[in-house]
Amino acid sequence: MALIVQKFGGTSVGSVERIRGVAARVLDTVAQGHRVAVVTSAMSGETNRLVALAHDIDPLPFSREYDLILSAGEQVAVGLLALAINAEARKRGLVPEGGTKARGYLGHQVGIHTDNGYSKARIREIDTKLLFSELDAGIVPVVAGFQGVDDSNSITTLGRGGSDTSAVALAAALRADDCEIYTDVDGVYTTDPRLCPKARKIERISYEEMMELASLGAKVLQIRSVELAAKFRVPLHVISSFSNTPGTRVVHREELGMSMEQVDVSGVAADNNQVKYHLRGLPNRPGVAAMVFGALTRESIVVDVIVQDMPVSGMASLSFTVGEAEALRTQTALERLKAEAFREMEIQSDKSLAKVSIVGVGMQHHPGVAARMFQILGEQNIDIRLISTSEIKVSCLVAADQMKLAVESLHRGFGLDRLD
Ligand code: ADP
Ligand code: MG
């Protein structure tokens, strides 16, 4: 008998019919003799609706209240799913009329404690007492993903895709035998199957590669969930909620064996939510970059690719990218910096860029991978604006309208295309 955490994404609970399907799947797992804790996202589209409402009232709504609003979608999903499990359990004769097989919980009710970083809160600890007593009593706890509670009893949210992280954190806290992430694709692919029809399903992928793919735009798993899974050795399994095909297992690198190591590139990621900032007219002296990025860090803005250009006529310039969601806050922070410190600074931004990246642990042992990437893009006349690399990835900024072409040619060029 295993303890399994099952997480269902927005599409998986997107309608009453689908919620019934999820309820049946949960009870099938219970019927195999396992104990199951469930985490669910809001019904698809619901969180976007709440985001739009908040932005209608305030273009910069990020605050305690914003998290309160955004967390509401999960409350409905959790209630509906618990209702559906109970109805199905009665139909199967597992509980008597009026009996209970599942109970829905919000994050704060099951002690999911976070810091107070609204909209990107981090889970600190989970109090498992109530959850274990439910599991021991044969109840399926259905827990709201994406949310927690901070020290001042305010509701926090974990950032988009945060239910993945809720599920992994719960699995770690409960020492679950498996954490199953049910979604609308049947696993992790060599690239986003929506973008490139030739994408192939990966049977097993290392935590490191999955982390890179997630941070570079593959939203199939939230990056934080993969970090947590690696840290706490949570077995992670990405599966489809709509079929019974085997999914993708995220495993430690040593479990991959040699054959995978020989591949230099395992996947291609793309992200068109990038804004490039170009700052000109900065004083050319040490400490300036530290002041610019210090100002952004104080606003918790995560900066990506950075390039410091050669100074021209005594003035320095600097380029970097941020996620589109942070563009407004970045602009505000830069304007404040201009007013306070760098009056000569010119701020230019460009939203028409996308980041395409190749990822693979095998890259470390294969020199020349970056050169091949530039060559493949060059053959398609794709202009590269910025480049950044790490041990196991190379990213290039390209024009957004060339993103699909870039992904497809890299996918083909590195031998990832499906053969049929
Ligand atoms: P959920 O609502 O279940 O959390 P998401 O929409 O967050 O689902 O993530 C699933 C989506 O991730 C897929 O529909 C797919 O378009 C996208 N995706 C991006 N990159 C990949 C990849 N490499 N493999 C699989 N899916 C990917
Ligand atoms: Mg998701």
Q: Any idea which residue has 């988009």 for tokens? A: 160
**225: pLDDT confidence band, cut at 50, 70 and 90?**
very high
- Residue 77 in contact with ligand 1 by CB distance below 6 A: no
Task: Give the C-alpha separation, 197 to 211, whole Å.
Answer: 23
- Residue 317 in contact with ligand 1 by CB distance below 6 A: no
Nearest CA to ligand 1 atom 21: 192
Which atom, in ligand 1's list, is nearest to the CA of 164? 4
- Residue 165 in contact with ligand 1 by CB distance below 6 A: no
Q: Is residue 383 part of a domain?
A: no
CA-angle at 217, arms to 260 and 302, nearest 5°: 120
pLDDT at 41: 98
Q: Is residue 212 part of a domain?
A: no
Ligand found nearest the CA of 209: 1
pLDDT at 57: 97
Count of positions (residues) in the chain: 420
pLDDT at 262: 63
Burial (0-12, 13-18, 19+ Cβ within 10 Å), 94: middle
Q: Which residue, among 147, 144, 143, 153, has the nearest Cα to 120 in the 3D structure?
A: 147
Q: Is residue 13 part of a domain?
A: yes
Between the CA of residue 113 and those of 14, 70, 134, 401, what are the distances in Å?
A: 27, 17, 19, 42
pLDDT at 331: 95
**Residue 343: Cβ within 10 Å count:** 8
Q: Is residue 97 part of a domain?
A: yes
- Residue 122 in contact with ligand 1 by CB distance below 6 A: no
Q: What is the CA radius of gyration of the chain?
A: 23
Task: Give the C-alpha separation, 369 to 414, whole Å.
Answer: 9
Coil vs helix vs strand at 368: coil
Residues near 225 by Cβ (< 8 Å), separated by ≥ 6? 161, 164, 165, 167, 168, 181, 214, 236
pTM score of the predicted model: 0.91
Which atom, in ligand 1's list, is nearest to the CA of 195? 16
**17: pLDDT confidence band, cut at 50, 70 and 90?**
very high
Ligand 2 center from residue 292 Cα (angstroms): 32
Which atom, in ligand 1's list, is nearest to the CA of 44? 2
- Residue 220 in contact with ligand 1 by CB distance below 6 A: yes
**266: pLDDT confidence band, cut at 50, 70 and 90?**
very high
pLDDT greater than 60 at residue 259: no
Count of domains observed in the chain: 1
* Start-to-end C-alpha separation, the chain: 39
Domain with 18, as residue range(s), is 3-184
Angle between the N-to-C axes of helices 162-173 and 223-231, in degrees from 0 to 180, rounded to the nearest 10: 20
- Residue 191 in contact with ligand 1 by CB distance below 6 A: yes
Ligand found nearest the CA of 182: 1
pLDDT tens string 309-364: 777 788 889 999 999 888 989 999 999 999 999 999 999 999 999 999 999 988 88
- Residue 45 in contact with ligand 1 by CB distance below 6 A: no
pLDDT tens string 135-175: 999 999 999 999 999 999 999 999 999 999 999 999 999 99
Ligand found nearest the CA of 247: 1
pLDDT greater than 60 at residue 261: no
pLDDT greater than 90 at residue 264: no
Between the CA of residue 71 and those of 8, 101, 248, what are the distances in Å?
A: 16, 25, 29
284 and 248 Cβ atoms separated by less than 8 Å: no
pLDDT at 258: 57
pLDDT at 405: 97
Q: Is residue 60 part of a domain?
A: yes
- Residue 162 in contact with ligand 1 by CB distance below 6 A: no
Which atom, in ligand 1's list, is nearest to the CA of 160? 7
Ligand 2 center from residue 311 Cα (angstroms): 42
Give me the chain's average pLDDT, please: 94
Ligand 1 center from residue 188 Cα (angstroms): 8
CATH of the domain at 24: 3.40.1160.10
Ligand 1 center from residue 189 Cα (angstroms): 9
Ligand 1 center from residue 177 Cα (angstroms): 24
Per-residue DSSP letter, 253:
G
Q: Is residue 198 part of a domain?
A: no
- Residue 9 in contact with ligand 1 by CB distance below 6 A: yes
Over range 17-34, report the average pLDDT: 98
- Residue 183 in contact with ligand 1 by CB distance below 6 A: yes
Tokens linked to 5: 């955490």
pLDDT at 75: 98
Ligand found nearest the CA of 11: 1
pLDDT at 299: 87
- Ligand 1 mutation pick, 74, 164, 181, 183, max ligand atoms within 8 A of CB: 183
Over range 198-221, report the average pLDDT: 94
Spacing of C-alpha 222 from chain mean position: 2
pLDDT at 362: 84
**254: pLDDT confidence band, cut at 50, 70 and 90?**
confident
188 and 202 Cβ atoms separated by less than 8 Å: yes
Task: Give the C-alpha separation, 247 to 273, whole Å.
Answer: 28
User: Where does 58-178 have alpha helices with state H?
Assistant: 64-70, 72-91, 129-136, 162-173
Within 74-229, strands assigned E span: 102-105, 112-114, 123-126, 140-144, 147-149, 155-157, 178-183, 204-206
Ligand 1 center from residue 217 Cα (angstroms): 10
Q: Is residue 412 part of a domain?
A: no
Could you tell me which residues are beta bridge partners of residue 323? 274
pLDDT at 263: 75
Task: Tell me the residues surrounding ligand 2 (ion) with CB < 5 Å.
Answer: 9, 161
Ligand 2 center from residue 249 Cα (angstroms): 16
pLDDT at 82: 98
Task: Give the C-alpha separation, 250 to 237, whole Å.
Answer: 6
pLDDT at 307: 80
Q: Which residue, among 116, 129, 166, has the nearest Cα to 144 in the 3D structure?
A: 166
Q: Is residue 290 part of a domain?
A: no
Per-residue DSSP letter, 42:
P
Angle between the N-to-C axes of helices 327-340 and 288-298, in degrees from 0 to 180, rounded to the nearest 10: 130
- Residue 247 in contact with ligand 1 by CB distance below 6 A: no
| Per-residue buried b or exposed e for 181-212, using 16+ beta carbons within 10 Å of the residue's own CB | bbbebbbbbbbbbebbebbbbbeebbbbbbbb
Could you tell me which residues are beta bridge partners of residue 4? 36, 178
